Amino acid sequence: MGLLSKKDSKLISDPLLDNNPITIQVLGICSALAITAELQASIVMSISVLFVLGVGNVVISLMRNIIPSKIRIIVQLVVVAALVIIVDQVLKAYAYELSKTLSVFVGLIITNCIIMGRFEAFALGNGPWRSFLDGIGNAAGYGFILILVGFFRELLGSGTLLGYAVLGDPIEKTGLYAIGYENNGFMLLSPMALIVVGLIIWVQRSRNKALIED
């Protein structure tokens, strides 16, 4: 990271682990539960949030001195919603196939509290460049957890990764299934996402004792 000062690079690296939006700041949980039954959906969602949070943080940061504090929530929401709708409409007109894959996520992105949370906590008080880095860092931390959860749920739940059967064929009984392994369909249900995140928190806090709550 030769381009970035030490302080700036911390903005990116912190949210990846020690200040992770999902496991520490408790932001953006709903979407982490809704879409992680499949690895591919987790990846698509992570990239979309990376884009929206990066651009949104810059826009809000540029506007931070002219936004009236009384209606700042409305302004923030309008900025996100407008941004997402514009992208959605443009994709619908020029990249229809892609837009169909993404349409599921439009509502989830607008209401993703990670976006509002970072606007409120960071972009309103910092310059555009630092806000951009903060947005990218937090979105990456968010995506990291999402992809991790998606990986375990898809692997254990349907025995596939990105749709490819990696553990063998459950009907033909090849690969792992030949020795009696069964898919755990329970992993596909949303409550299991909560439990997987809980376990990730366990691992993370065992490694870094400073994060333990009392």
Per CB under 8 A, contacts with another protein among 193-212 are 193-195, 197-199, 201-206, 209, 211-212
Considering only residues 144-173, where is the footprint of another protein by CB under 8 A?
A: 153-154, 157-158, 163
Q: Mask 16-55, x = binds another protein (CB under 8 A)?
A: -------xx-xxxxx--xxx-xx-xx--------------
Tell the smallest beta-carbon distance from residue 201 to another protein (Å). 4
Residue 93 binds another protein (CB under 8 A): yes
Lookup result for tokens 């979105």: 139
Selected from 4, 62, 174, 185, the binder of another protein by CB under 8 A is: 185
User: What is the token pair recorded at 121?
Assistant: 């906590």
Question: What distance in Å separates the CA atoms of residue 164 and residue 105, rounded to the nearest whole number?
Answer: 23
Distance CA 151, CA 157 (A): 10
Q: Which residues lie below 8 Å from residue 204, measured CB to CB, with a gap of 6+?
A: 17, 20, 23, 211
12 membership: H or E segment, kind and range: helix 6-13
CB of 162 vs another protein, minimal distance in Å: 11
Given 68, 180, 182, 210, the residue binding another protein (CB under 8 A): 68
Q: State the nearest-atom distance from the C-beta of 44 to another protein, in Å.
A: 8
Beta strands 164-165; 160-161: pairing state? antiparallel
Q: Which residue, 5 or 65, is less far from another protein as judged by CB?
A: 65
Q: Of 1 and 30, which has the nearer Cβ to another protein?
A: 30
Quick check: 46 and 142 in contact, CB under 8 A?
yes
Element (H, E) at 165: strand 164-165
Helix-helix angle 6-13:128-158, to 10 degrees: 30
Among the listed residues 16, 117, 168, 176, the single contact to another protein using CB under 8 A:
117
CA-closest candidate to residue 109, choices 163, 160, 41, 155 = 41
Span near another protein by CB under 8 A; candidates 6-14, 50-58, 110-118, 139-147: 110-118
